[in-house]
Structure 1
Amino acid sequence: MSSMGIAIAATGLSLVLIFFWMISLSMRKQRLEAERKAREVAYRKAMQKAREQERKERKFKAETGHIPTILFLAKEAERENIKEALYWYDKAAKLDNITGMYGVVRLAERMREDVILREQANFWRVAIAGVEGDVEAKFATGKALVFGRGVEKNLHKGHQLIEEAANDGCIAAMLHMGEWQLSPENMAGHGADALYWFMKAAEKDSADGKIQVGLCHLNGIGVEMNMVKGCYWLERAAESGNAEAMYHAGDAWKNTGKTGNAIAYIWLFLSASLGFEPARTLRDEVASNIGVDVVVGLQSLAKPLQRKLASGMVKKHSIIRALNKVYKREVYFPSDSELPEDGFIGSQESAQSQDDAFGLGFQPDIVPRTEGAGTLTSPSKEVLDFTQNFLQPQTLNKPHS
């Protein structure tokens, strides 16, 4: 073979080798690209799996009450899914987180057509006020939870908030706690605990609290039954012009002892004059037992007292001391140990304060006399003359200038 043939053969072989090399290089490049793509796919899958795992873990933490995670998910969802964001904000709010409460209220403003959400937002507005220190709002929040108003019913948490409000000085919450202790629904309730809360309200000068303390003593709820103490508390509430307290005081005194009906009539007359309907029937029943003449005398005693109550000028214990003096009742005033936080005058009151009831200088014979087994007779002329001026301004002791 000539040298030219050899050269041609060598060139052809070189071309073949180059061709195969290029094919090999192309295949290697394709393989590397495929491997790269496979790695990217695997990486993306791994990252997606990691993100899904992270989201699952984050959701688990949120569902189990981790507040920062709950708020993170709420904020994240707020961009694209308001309902999901609302779910998380509501969850945070129910865990007493104020940011969650504000979140529910804010999203409710964007979904005004949702009536149920609007009610929930109203609930959380009140709850926010309670968290920020408004004890009345805290009490309202607790009641809403107890009765399921604008929020899912939660008795335990509701009463917990109400008790907190009561301890913070909310009188309505104190009364609620006392009533709850007596409620048939409260299997763990105790009369002593009810009396404790009613007494707390009474110490805050609540007429309703005093009424309940009085009824507890009269009925032996949480304390030994004691009419004298029960009537004291009812009359303390009655002195503030509370018609219901006057009614209960009258009912308690009815048919007790020689002068019980006289005292009962005075309180029932005052209660009825304030429009408390149950007192009218009981007043007339008592009147039928004591006679017209005695009723006239008692009315002349009660009417000036009615005007005094209407003026709001009745001092603490004034009526009680007056009735004690006039009807020679057993004297009771709470001791300091019974009322550690209140300014009521204790049982150590001086004889002068007892005798100076209303500054009138009562005499023993200013009430209808009794004969026999407690039967009331007509009042004397002196009694009627005195009662015509009972509690008139000129009879009151005036301070020296």
Structure 2
Amino acid sequence: MSEPVLDRSVRSPNFRRFWIGQSVSFLGSEVSLLALPLIAVVTLNADATQMGILTALGYLPFLLIGLQAGVWVDRMRRRQILVWSDLATAVLLLTLPAAALMGVLRIEQMYVLALLIGAIEVVSSVAHQSFLPSLVERRELPAANARLEGSSSVATIAGPSVAGVLVQLLTAPIAVLIDAVSFIVSALVLRSVRVEEPPPLPPDESVGMRAQVSEGLHHVVRHRLLRPLFSCGATHNFFRRMIEALFVLYVVNQLGLDPVALGLVLAAGGPGALLGAAVALPLAQRIGLGRTIVWMQVLTGISCFAAPLAGGPPWLTIAILAAGQFLLGVARPVFNISQLSLRQAITPDRLQGRVNATMRFIMWGVTPFGALVGGLLGSAIGLRPTLLLAAVGVLLAFVWIAASPVRALVTVPDAAEG
């Protein structure tokens, strides 16, 4: 993909508004990414099992409504879904600092919030991925995705460090207010996007929800390129969620880092992600799309060993954890840009919602189990051994891609394949 293509996608007024709205939301979400688990660990004294449950509930909706979300997205205007999803998420987030200020915040409320926000995320993420091909041409998808990943990277740099300071000075519940405001701003910006979307799929009485879900599921499972992608993604997500469920608990309680240090560690992923978003396109051009996907999964696995290997003086602990976050930051944008652009390009417009939903249902549907297994194993055998086991699992996920036709791909297809 050439630089002029990248410039065209950025200069599109509708894409620019979409990009701005998502960028604002990215920043707020990065603040909550640190603040929410800190509320559970520091304010509510959650243990490993409770952290596992909290993380699992956030991903449970991928199993409950993951497939149906694709049909809903294909039946509705995707921009409207994104706007209402942002507003609903903002309202839910505002209940958390309100409860904290009234002194009635409990872990059960966080469970409910995790489940509801997770349900909204399932629908909005499918709409997001399905809406982008309406804003740019298919050959511009890698460039557009790279810009979005770049914004996410900037948010990853600023968000955790800002969150660490806010949590230290104002408490974690107050920090969540920033995320709520960011979703409101994002909704207002997205309302200004004016684009001709593909006509929504009519609710054909002769073709029910089950048949439409089945069509998307069969398309994904039988596709020679999509099948290894979701197999790798599911393996990766299962073991990564084991790490995610325990990471804050491990870093705060076992390694002894405070919220500011934890924020700095997480922020180290930002420069890496910015670098990854910048090199994704030239790297794929140089070594090929398939090999890029394979090697970025390998690099992701290597980065996960930083947590179980961290220790020693505080400066060394922070350095090891930060190095792991940096490597993870480099790998994931490149992997995401490459596989998502491939997925969007080979999927017909009428199936975009269902294919994206099915992929996410499979890849993210395993995450509640990963989080629960992580929490239970953390309580049974200890946090460090569990993190080490999970790192091995993330690393081995690359085999699905390396042994498939995806590895031989050089570029993203220019047109959708049926």
Give the TM-score category using the shorter length.
under 0.3
TM-score by length of 2: 0.25
Q: Greater relative contact order: 1 or 2 (C-alpha under 8 angstroms, separation 6 or more)? A: 2
The structure whose Rg is larger is 1
Write 1 or 2 for the structure with the bigger share of helix: 2
TM-score by length of 1: 0.25
